[in-house]
Amino acid sequence: MRLAEVLGQPAAVAVLRRLIAGGRLPQTLLLSGPPGCGRRTTARAVAQALLCSAPVAGDACGRCRSCALVASSAHPDLTEVPGDRDAADEDGDQSRSLKVDMVRDLADRAMETPILGERRVFLIPACERLSAGRGDSANALLKVLEEPPAGTWFVLTAASPDGVLPTIRSRSQVIRLGPLPAPDLERILIARGVPATEAARLAMLGGGSHRDLEGGAGEMPLAELERLLRGGYHGASLAALMAALPKEPDGTESAAGMTLGMVQRRRTRLWLAALRVDLRVRLRAGDAAVADWLDRLGQAESDLAVNIPVRSVLEMLAAPERG
């Protein structure tokens, strides 16, 4: 992935390319932005630009051997710390810390001579995880960040600089990424094989993030949700909604440490977002009755964000009186 191919972040890409072209890219870089905005994609594009043997205007050429090795995750001078899902992306859970032994091994490798070229790059996604536990992982990394070896770069990602330990943040150049525009979300989904009409609809629900759109949302039971809004508690509708929820995390979600509750809340948020799009269209067409429904959807989304179980959220959606 070249920086020129990164979607939705033109300002950040322009800054990165200028710094790389001028040989002024700080050796510790922190890419921050909302989940699903392309932080890790951008980090990998930075790594490819740094390792490319024939860079062009601060970007990788995309044709040399180094670029091919980066694209296939086989470059010997590129190390990416495991971590498919960011620590604070789902329900504020920051319990999944980076193991201190892993960080110490990374720090040791940073002192080694590059194998293929003159540079080494280390990618550390979700660096918020360094703050979990007793801080041993952060201390292990700080030793090498204070005086990084020549030709060695560290590219970190985080949802927000505020979630990063001050000692790490103060040693990093922060580059901020924004939410992805809907047209770019649509292009990403189409590239992943989603039919164009479905991609256009899902992109409207993304809220600037591809994260909740990965894998789509299956058949959305919007009629059942609307029945709860219109008619109050309805046992059959509630049962149908619960039956439509995932019964277990899939392989990717399990590898990311997501629990069943997290998966079900994420799926429910996508359903609510889809219904909200439909209701807004009806409101603009003059259906004033849906204004209250939109307020109740907003409350339901807030309830999901504070870890209230999905069944309770749906019951309150049908019976909004809260004493």
Q: pLDDT tens-digit profile of 167-214?
A: 889 999 999 999 888 888 888 878 777 777 777 777 776 666 666 565
What is the C-alpha separation between 75 and 218, in angstroms, rounded? Answer: 37
Helix (H) or strand (E) holding 153, with range, is strand 152-158
What is the C-alpha separation between 289 and 191, in angstroms, rounded? Answer: 39
Domains of the chain: 3-176 (3.40.50.300), 217-318 (no CATH)
pLDDT of res. 207 = 63
Residue 322 has pLDDT above 50, yes or no: no
Sequence-ordered alpha helix ranges (H) in the chain = 10-21, 39-51, 65-71, 100-110, 136-146, 166-169, 182-191, 196-205, 222-231, 235-244, 251-255, 260-284, 290-305, 310-318
Evaluated on CA atoms 80, 84, 87, 88, the torsion sign reads positive
Termini Cα distance of the chain: 53
pLDDT of res. 200 = 77
pLDDT of res. 6 = 93
Query: Alpha carbon of 250 to those of 81, 90, 215, 258: distances in Å?
Result: 22, 16, 10, 9
Q: Who contacts 251 (Cβ-Cβ below 8 Å, separation ≥6)?
A: none
pLDDT of res. 208 = 66
32-46, 143-157, 279-293: least confidently modelled range: 279-293
